């Protein structure tokens, strides 16, 4: 499925808000564990309404991908995504071995472009909005 | 790496993009229900304490500033 995120130079943000043009990247099954869905599913209002009806908090239990907004994003740090830099700094470098999950955006992922496999190891730790935040 | 593939084919009719998106959306819902159950709890990870995460959405600079890390 062709998405807006496929067409931008800065790549795809794996922690984007759900909005027209973004896609469902995966489901946060547990803390630090994401069930990635491929191919990614386009976000629709109908889908978001259904999640809301089911009591699924989208910014906490779902992960969406969309266009990297570059300098228009609060996480942008000069020429790169500052968020994944901090995530990797916190969780550390991966050992570079072991299979990676089948992720639908890796070829264009902004985080993967900056940190490679290490970004994939830390990616499941990110939730956008925990309860009470 | 555990991986589970479910493959279905709809054959014999032409589906519109809206219909295909509807089907994909319903699949997403079913998978989500299976994984998170009814009334899923919110999760907290150390990352939220490290920095507010609003990836892809512009927010005021002060709101996006790094926070001091505290154990979640």
Residue A17 binned pLDDT confidence (cut-offs 50, 70, 90) = confident
How much is the pLDDT for A4?
43
How much is the pLDDT for A94?
73
Q: What is the mean pLDDT of residues A59-66?
A: 87
How much is the pLDDT for A53?
87
Q: Quick check: B40 and A55 CB within 8 A?
A: yes
Q: Which of B32, B38, B45, B46 to mutate to test the interface with A (most CBs of A within 10 A)?
A: B32
Instruction: Render pLDDT for B35-44 as a digit per residue (tens, 0 to 9).
Output: 988 767 777 6
- Residues in A touching B64 (Cβ below 8 Å): 74-75
How much is the pLDDT for B46?
62
**Cis check: omega of the bond before B45, within 30 degrees of 0:** no
How much is the pLDDT for A69?
86
- In whole angstroms, give the CA distance from residue A67 to residue A14: 9
Distance from B13 to chain A by nearest Cα, in Å? 19
Residue B51 binned pLDDT confidence (cut-offs 50, 70, 90) = low
Q: Quick check: B42 and A16 CB within 8 A?
A: no
Looking at per-residue pLDDT, the higher value among B44 and A24 belongs to A24
Residue A26 binned pLDDT confidence (cut-offs 50, 70, 90) = very high
Distance from A98 to chain B by nearest Cα, in Å? 8
- In whole angstroms, give the CA distance from residue B70 to residue A101: 29
Residue A3 binned pLDDT confidence (cut-offs 50, 70, 90) = very low
Q: Which of A83, A92, A109 to mutate to test the interface with B (most CBs of B within 10 A)?
A: A83
pLDDT at B52 over 80: no
Hey, where are the domains in chain A?
Answer: 4-125
Look at residues A72, A70, A64, A55 and name the one whose alpha carbon lies nearest to residue A18: A64
pLDDT at B55 over 80: no
- In whole angstroms, give the CA distance from residue B19 to residue A130: 33
Tokens representing A123 are 């990616």
Instruction: Render pLDDT for A74-132 as a digit per residue (tens, 0 to 9).
Output: 788 889 999 899 888 888 777 667 889 999 999 999 999 999 999 998 898 887 665 55
Q: Which of A41, A49, A101 to mutate to test the interface with B (most CBs of B within 10 A)?
A: A41
Interhelix angle A45-53/B17-36, nearest 10 degrees: 30
Could you give the C-alpha distances from A89 to A107, A118, B61, in angstroms and in order? 23, 10, 21
Q: Quick check: B72 and A50 CB within 8 A?
A: no
């Amino acid at each position: 499925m062709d998405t807006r995120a496929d067409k931008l130079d800065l790549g795809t943000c794996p922690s984007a808000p759900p909005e027209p043009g973004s896609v469902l990247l995966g489901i946060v099954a547990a803390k630090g564990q994401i069930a990635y869905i491929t191919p990614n599913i386009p976000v629709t209002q109908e889908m978001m309404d259904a999640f809301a009806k089911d009591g699924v908090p989208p910014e906490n239990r779902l992960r969406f991908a969309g266009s990297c907004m570059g300098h228009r994003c609060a996480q942008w740090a000069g020429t790169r995504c500052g968020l994944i830099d901090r995530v990797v700094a916190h969780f550390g470098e991966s050992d570079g071995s072991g299979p990676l999950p089948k992720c639908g955006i890796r070829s264009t992922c902004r985080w993967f472009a900056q940190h490679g496999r290490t970004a994939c190891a830390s990616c499941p730790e990110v939730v956008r909005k925990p309860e009470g935040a | 790496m555990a991986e589970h593939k479910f493959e279905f084919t709809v054959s014999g009719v032409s589906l519109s993009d809206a219909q295909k998106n509807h089907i994909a959306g319903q699949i997403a819902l079913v998978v989500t229900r299976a994984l998170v159950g009814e009334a899923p709890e919110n999760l907290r990870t150390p990352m939220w304490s490290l920095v507010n995460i609003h990836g892809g959405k512009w927010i005021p600079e002060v709101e996006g500033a790094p926070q001091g890390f505290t154990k979640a």
